[in-house]
Amino acid sequence: MAVIVVSRSFASGGRELGRLLARRLGYHYVDKSLFQKIAEGLQVSEGTLESFEQSREYRISNLFANLFSKKYIQRIVGYDKTVVEENEYQDRLQSLILGVAKEDGAVIIGRAAHYFLRDMKNCYRFRLIAPMDHRKKYAVEKLGVTPSQAQRVLERRDRKQTWFHRSVCGEDYDSPLLFHLTVNTGVISLEKAVGIVLSVVNHGS
């Protein structure tokens, strides 16, 4: 068994591909559950965590300083500290991803897993991209985005994703050398993409 990581542009079909792969291989599909575990580990709501992940201006240190007492924060991090820095989030995210990967037989979607598992053997990292027009159509047809909002929604999500990856991974977060393969779902269907990914995994195994 292996670990498959799918990094994707919003509305390029990454989650759909991940579910198809997990079903075909009998692997665990890891997406929202990882997000929930991070929130639980930091003892914050999912809404609070989502605000941090999606805002270029949000800072988790400021958030904790404003919302929680010093005693409460100490209970979270295990020592006396006035704020929880961004590296607390990064450490928690990395430890969870490594923990999932050690169990083997998993398809992990997003959350910078491609970066944290870049040196892991038997881990296959794929990136999904697609042209803007294709992504707009996908967002409207499958994600419930209205046609008039599609362009704006995609551009906003792209900005947030870039900020998140740079914050967590640094400037080389999207280096092509981090991936076994990049697939353009604007020209390759998801079904064909599944076959391509499986051939890479099976060949490597």
Where residue 179 falls (left for φ over 0; alpha for ψ -120 to 50; beta otherwise) is: beta
Q: Please tell me the pTM assigned to this model.
A: 0.79
In this predicted structure, what is the pLDDT of residue 93?
Answer: 82
Query: How crowded is the C-beta side of 83, counted as CA atoms within 13 Å?
Result: 11
Q: What is the pLDDT along the chain (205 residues), one digit of tens a residue?
A: 899 999 999 999 999 999 999 999 999 998 876 656 666 666 655 666 666 666 544 444 444 444 445 555 455 554 443 334 567 778 878 888 888 898 889 999 998 999 999 999 999 999 999 999 999 999 999 999 999 999 999 999 998 888 888 888 888 998 999 999 999 999 999 999 999 999 999 987 6
Instruction: Report the domain count for the chain.
Output: 1
In this predicted structure, what is the pLDDT of residue 193?
Answer: 97
Write the secondary structure of 99-157 as one string of H (helix), E (strand) and C (coil). HHHHHCCEEEECCCHHHHCCCCCCEEEEEEECCHHHHHHHHHHHCCCCHHHHHHHHHHH
Q: What is the CATH number of the domain that holds 103?
A: 3.40.50.300
Domain hosting 109: range is 3-204
The pair of three-digit structure tokens given for residue 139, joined into one six-digit string: 């967002």
Q: How many CB atoms lie within 10 A of CB 129?
A: 16
